[in-house]
Amino acid sequence: MTTTKASEPNMAEAKATDGSKPEMVTLDQLARELRMPPRDARMLLRLAAKQTKVYPTLAKEHIARQPWQWKLGSRALDEARKALSSAGS
């Protein structure tokens, strides 16, 4: 039986249920925090991820066709907040 890429994050979550799993922030949570629709936030993050000189960590950490989520306190989360807040103003 072969494993698919879609099942890998679920396996990682299952292994880390012993309390060592870091707190994750999802796109939905970030969009609510910044008071914008998640669809608009997703579009802006896709554009920001293409700007590798401005947002290098955001571009490196996001995997295509995977949900937008970040570890709490990570540099990629800071860059995502910066990208969304600069587009909203």
Residue 18 scores a pLDDT above 60: no
Residue 12 scores a pLDDT above 80: no
pLDDT at res. 86: 87
SS3 per-residue string spanning the chain: CCCCHHHHHHHHHHHCCCCCCCCEEEHHHHHHHCCCCHHHHHHHHHHHHHCCCCCHHHHHHCCCCCCCEEECCCHHHHHHHHHHHHHHC
pLDDT at res. 79: 96
Domain boundaries, the chain: 31-71
pLDDT at res. 87: 75
30-48 confidence digits (pLDDT tens) = 999 999 999 999 999 999 9
